Amino acid sequence: MKILLLITFITIGTPMAMAESEWSFGADVSMSDQYFPEEYGEDTNNNLLKIEIDPLVRWKHGERWRFYLKPVLVADPDNKSSEEKFFADPTEAYIKFKKDVLTISAGYHVVTWGVTDGYNPVDFINRKQIYDPIRSKKLGAASIIVSESLKWFDYDFIYIPRATTSLMPGEESRWLPREVFIPQVPQNNLVLILPENLRYHWGTERTLDNALDNNFGLRLQKSFSIFDISISGYDGAAPYPIIEPQVTGTITQVSPKTVIEVDPDVYLNRKEHRIRQGGFTLVSRQWDFLFKYATSYTSDHGQYYNLPGWIHESVVGLEKTFNFSDAMLIGILQYSFLDTERKNDSNISITEIFRAAWMAGGRLTWKEVWNASFLGLYDTVHYSYYLQASLGRRFFDSWNVSLTADSIAGSSENPLGLYSKNDSYLLTISRSF
């Protein structure tokens, strides 16, 4: 981190002007209780009580210098997965210099490239904490970002000397598969039948092709009348590692697929790998609609036999705002379609959920204190779905209370249905200072 800051100051080469400094402080504090009605696993949680604190510090010096700090601190002391009891991440902690149309920022950043909601095929910069895949958190990337508005286009360049790794669910997490498990292996001809008393253990970690070193990305943006377009490129670590189960068991079938009844202890070995991605996005505003399109092509970098191969992902969506006398509704309709080198049915591949899927959602606010939202995802390949509904109320300008219900349905042999026992209800109370 010190090296990043030093490089920034040397690059800028401009001393701070004598100007008055301004500081501001704040924090977001929340407490949530998540309840899972169904048992899933021998020693997993049915209830999770979390406390999250996100302090906020801002500093302004003249017109050119800014400092921003907003780390994330989470305590979940009753979680049976020891890895998930406490979580802390710098998330956003950077110093920024701006002169005319040039901005240089160094520190920890959260970067979002892309225009679509829920599923974003060009958003590859940050790794994630995915203790709960439905409510994953982006990890701050220690990086330098250079942005500039030129005559013909705007650009953003990011350099990450050393990327972090994604934080996977803990060994006692109910988000690890605990029924039928189809690992991603060559030809995908292996099915593992898991026992009821399954015990997961994280095994070895290996980084292929220096995947975590010297990650970088470039995005070019341009506006034409009613169109906003962007072109991006990324070379660096894949957002998720390759997970390879190491098991022992009894073979019960050899054709057409090999079926193994697995012994209770399963070791999960991780391999970080490098990818190269090109992306394109388009946003158009016309006829009171917001049209969104995003597409990307990703290829592997390396020769390891179990790399996932190339993938072409696309999302097209429509967004419209409806205004009422004392309320506003934002509605979204999206369709995702993708093609992959490996035409498999792996139920641990997150992308399989979006191979041909519809997503519809909306957010309603009224009387400036109430809000409600709905999200539905339907996987047309595996005929599974995910539904989320939420209702919230603001009190005394700074307190918020919300109740959220999640429902997942489908066969346990497909990516969404595998977690059909993870329906939950989430109560959250939050306060902003």
**Which among 108, 97, 112, 32 is positioned nearest to 64, based on CA atoms?**
97
Lowest average pLDDT, out of 44-53, 119-128, 188-197, 216-225, goes to 188-197
**Which among 58, 17, 309, 361 is positioned nearest to 188, based on CA atoms?**
309
Percentage of the residues of the chain whose pLDDT score is greater than 70: 92
At CA 340, angle to CA 335 and CA 343, rounded to 5? 110
Whether the CB-CB separation of 352 and 319 falls below 8 Å is answered with no
C-alpha distances out from residue 116 to 154, 169, 381, 432, Å: 20, 26, 21, 28
Q: For residue 195, what are its two tokens? A: 């026992």
- Global confidence as pTM: 0.89
Percentage of the residues of the chain whose pLDDT score is greater than 90: 70
Q: Find the CATH number of the domain harbouring 154.
A: 2.40.160.10
Residue 71's Cβ-count burial label (10 Å; 0-12, 13-18, 19+) is: middle
- Structural Rg of the chain based on CA atoms: 23
Beta-strand pair 384-395/399-409: antiparallel
Q: How many domains does the chain have?
A: 1
- Model pLDDT for residues 296-313, shown as the tens digit of each residue: 999 998 889 888 889 999
Q: What pLDDT shows up at residue 142?
A: 98
* DSSP structure string for 36-89: -SS--STT--SEEEEEEEEEEEEEEETTTEEEEEEEEEEE-TT-SSGGGSEEEE
Whether the CB-CB separation of 416 and 382 falls below 8 Å is answered with yes
Measure the CA–CA gap between 10 and 59, rounded to whole angstroms.
21
**Which among 130, 258, 193, 174 is positioned nearest to 413, based on CA atoms?**
193
Task: State the residue range of the domain holding 19.
Answer: 2-432
* Residue owning tokens 């696309």: 314
- Model pLDDT for residues 103-119, shown as the tens digit of each residue: 999 999 999 999 998 88
Q: Which residues contact 115 (CB under 8 A, 6 or more apart)?
A: 281, 282, 283, 292, 293, 294
Q: What pLDDT shows up at residue 120?
A: 92
Residue type, 25: F
Q: What pLDDT shows up at residue 17?
A: 45
What value does the mean pLDDT take over residues 68-84? 96
DSSP code of residue 167: B
Sign of dihedral through CA atoms 282, 387, 139, 312?
negative
What value does the mean pLDDT take over residues 401-424? 91
Q: Which residues contact 161 (CB under 8 A, 6 or more apart)?
A: 3, 4, 142, 143, 213, 214
Element containing residue 8 per DSSP (H, E):
helix 2-12
Helix (H, G, I), strand (E, B) or coil at 134: helix
